[in-house]
Structure 1
Amino acid sequence: MNARKVLLAEFLGTLLLLAIVVGSGIMGERLANGNAAIALLANAAATAGGLYVLIVLFGPISGAHFNPAVTLAMKLRGEALPASLAAMVCVQVAGAVLGVLLAHAMFDIALWQPGDHVRTGVAQWLSEGVATFGLLLTIVLGIRFRERAVPALVASYIFAAYWFTASTSFANPAVTLARSLTQTFAGIRPIDAPAFIAAQLVGAALAVLAARALLPAHSSVRR
């Protein structure tokens, strides 16, 4: 696949993902009348549904990573990336930031608003490590054993992780950076973002090690 097409797919996919995450958070909060559970349910459902569509559409072009942790994990596993690691991470981050700005524009709120949602502490960091570990393991094992089901597997895992993690499962360094630029329901303080990203990278690395222990060196089982 042409590298330019790969990078465009990663850029557009990540942009749309963040527009979905932040936009649905804004809409959910507005419609929930103060009920945080309903707002979170709306946010989780929209994110999972949108993620499924984006993976189906962009997966054949770029692999639909939309996530520097996924791209890095694939590199660590020795997989051939469709474009350079640096280029993919750059377009993912750029797309994520523009996706947040797009969501702000659609709801007619200030485009630039550094996050003020406090997300810090051991429980939050552990949650991000677990969320990212589970996401990467879902992707790697899914590709090996149920390749056609990967979009549904990833979407289902993210929907579940919204609810079983204290952090609501960012599980993505680009998403974390971009969400530090919004004061909406989906936001995070910029000062809290580095620890989230560190936990995510640790979770991704552990998932790579776990997959190496679980999987045979070579397998042709894909359905």
Structure 2
Amino acid sequence: MQMVEDCLSTAMIDETLRFAASSLHAPATIFCWLDPNQRIAQYQTTGIPPCMMDDYLDGRYVHDPLNVYEIVGGTRDVAFLATERTCRPEASNRMHDQFLQRYGIHDEVDFIFRLDGDAFALLAVLNGPAEDSFADRFFNWGAMRDYLEFTLKLHPRVRRARQDMMLASRFGLTPREIQVVDLLKNGASNLAVAQIMGIGVATVKTYVINILNKLGVENRAAIIAFLAQMKLA
């Protein structure tokens, strides 16, 4: 079951990247999942050599007007390279231009996706040298971003993040209790939970009792039903 879900999840992201690239007539994309600290946790690309991201993460990002570590912390949901570079030193822009030219890229637009105000993912769409500037195109960028964000929020990774946020903020579950919930949801026994988390079975039972009390349900099956009723399972 997990393997099937993983395949479907990968296919969802692949289709999202194809849709964005096709809609914008762009040859390349970079999609990044962000961790709770809004750092890159995982990424996948289309149309660029793998070494480009290795090069970027090895330090080239400091010259990027669309520096992922800065742009996700702002309030913009759509950001253009041509616009952002006007706020950067010319020397830094030249270095970034050299980096892009090495890989046949000259322009970029970034879509930032948020959950309760915090960025959870970023999609960079990259242009080849013969294309026009994204910033000059007559295009409904906000509608594109909203559609992509709606699609991404159906991804199991984002649904799990929503679940964890709600269990913590609304019901007061601790990170360890949330981990137990996730394992129970996937059918793990108390013994399996103990082995995975490296704790005793008695401790697992204590966690389960605390979870039941906080959620106001009576048994393990009711936890799953509770999550499903909230459309989080």
Higher relative contact order, structure no. (Cα contacts within 8 Å, ≥ 6 residues apart): 1
Bigger CA radius of gyration: 2
Richer in strand (by share): 2
* TM-score normalised by structure 2 residue count: 0.27
Richer in helix (by share): 1
